[in-house]
């Protein structure tokens, strides 16, 4: 457990950056999320369409499964059937429509419906658009039918992840072996926390993937630093080299070699160059010291908690809070770099 804690604490410290300011939040991972989608072929006036999107967003947000670009697979969508349409004499002349709005939750990539419910609404307005808007305004996100519909959809999504768990892990391992570490961690991070067994299996796999990632990245940066120093062997080269090695994760497997490299560079610099070099190393040491302090605090917290709780409970608390955010930062960065448009093959469930 200590190994988990140290790796997670360090990764968490160096992983949090301005990138987290993006609309995609770290807690978008580890939970069930629905993306609102309306097909282009839906015959609905623009203003009414915007209102329906807003209403669907409200429904999913009301139950804590609001839209997120973290996982585009699962959607909440709707279809509208106009039952009757009557013209009411004026002035002013009015249009009255009875609508059946069927709301769906499903797997958009596999084109599979998980749950649905139909809301019967009536709208009146001076034109068709206003009649639609008047009717759609009556959708109540807290409607009892919608609550049951959401719960059924969530249960189906949980079942999907549980049945796909071994496949998800094997796919992540394959991606890791191909050097696609960020994508592997992204896949593993999509499993909701409510799928506890699968969630913790994926968390453990993420640890191994991340360790291999920082090891490989560390070796690349270390070789670059050595090349810079070997080419010029000057104070300028030493400063450039330490800038590179400061980007290496402190828990990368090459870290002992990095420490020896720093000592060898230090020994070869002339006395009049020492001051500049020592200033750079002081900055590097300060960074490492901050990371070690976070680890120490996390370890102390874990030790205190161990005296009161079973080990599994400890694992679910401080340890997970630290390392989960570390992996989710990697997953979030991967998701941010993916194409913003997702093809749903023009799904139009009715």
Q: Give the pair of three-digit tokens for residue 17.
A: 């950056």
Domain ranges of the chain: 31-142, 165-336
Mean pLDDT by 10 residues, the chain (350 residues): 39 35 62 89 90 94 80 91 86 91 92 94 93 94 91 94 95 95 93 90 91 94 95 87 90 90 84 68 73 62 51 51 74 79 72
Q: What is the predicted pLDDT for the residue at 26?
A: 67
Q: What is the DSSP string of 192-233?
A: -TTSHHHHHHHHHHHHHHHHHHHHHHHHHHHHHHHHHHHHH-
Phi and psi torsions of 88, nearest 5°: -100, 125
pLDDT of 10 reads 39
Dist CA 120 CA 313 (whole Å): 47
- The order of strands in the sheet holding 112-125 is 35-36, 74-88, 94-107, 112-125
pLDDT of residue 53: 94
Residue pair 117/102 in contact by the 8 Å Cβ criterion: yes
Q: What is the CATH number of domain 31-142?
A: 3.30.160
pLDDT at position 25, please?
Answer: 66
Q: How many residues does the chain have?
A: 350
The answer to whether 126 touches 92, Cβ cutoff 8 Å, is: yes
pLDDT at 51: 95
For 136, the token pair is 């759609």
Residue 316 per-residue DSSP state:
I
Give the per-residue pLDDT at 20: 34
- What local confidence, expressed as pLDDT, does residue 336 receive? 81
Q: Cβ(119)–Cβ(100) under 8 Å?
A: yes
Q: What is the per-residue pLDDT for 58?
A: 93
Q: Is 210 helix (H, G, I), strand (E, B) or coil?
A: helix
**CA separation for the pair 50, 218 (Å, rounded):** 48
């Amino acid at each position: 457990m200590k190994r988990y804690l140290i790796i997670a604490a360090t990764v968490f410290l160096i992983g949090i950056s301005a990138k987290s300011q993006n609309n995609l939040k770290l807690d978008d991972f580890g939970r069930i999320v629905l993306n609102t989608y309306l097909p282009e072929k839906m015959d609905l006036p623009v203003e009414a369409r915007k209102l329906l999107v807003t209403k669907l967003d409200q429904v999913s947000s009301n139950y804590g499964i609001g839209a997120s670009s973290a996982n585009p697979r699962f959607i909440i969508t709707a279809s509208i059937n106009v039952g009757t349409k009557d013209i009411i004499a004026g002035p002013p002349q009015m249009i009255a429509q009875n609508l059946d709005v069927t709301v769906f939750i499903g797997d958009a990539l596999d084109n599979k419906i998980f749950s649905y419910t139909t809301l019967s609404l009536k709208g009146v307005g001076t034109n068709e658009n206003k009649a639609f808007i008047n009717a759609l305004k009556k959708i109540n996100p807290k409607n009892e039918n919608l609550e049951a519909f959401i719960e059924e959809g969530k249960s189906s999504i949980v079942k999907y992840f549980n049945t796909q768990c071994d496949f998800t892990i094997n796919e992540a391992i394959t991606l890791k072996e191909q050097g696609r570490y960020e994508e592997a961690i992204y896949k593993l991070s999509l499993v909701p926390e409510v799928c506890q067994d699968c969630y913790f299996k994926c968390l453990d796999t993420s640890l191994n993937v991340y360790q291999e990632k920082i090891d490989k990245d560390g070796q690349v940066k270390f070789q670059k630093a050595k090349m810079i120093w070997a080419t010029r062997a000057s104070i300028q080269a030493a400063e450039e080299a330490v800038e590179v090695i400061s980007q290496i994760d402190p828990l990368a497997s090459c870290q002992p070699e990095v420490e020896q490299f720093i000592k060898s560079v230090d020994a070869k610099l002339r006395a009049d160059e020492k001051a500049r070099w020592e200033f750079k190393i002081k900055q590097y040491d300060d960074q490492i010291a901050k990371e070690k302090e976070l680890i120490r605090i996390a370890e102390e917290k874990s030790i205190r908690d161990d005296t009161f709780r079973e080990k599994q409970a400890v694992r679910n608390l401080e340890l997970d809070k630290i390392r989960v955010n570390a992996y989710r930062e990697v997953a979030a960065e991967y998701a941010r770099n993916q194409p913003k448009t997702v093809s749903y093959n023009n799904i139009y469930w009715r």
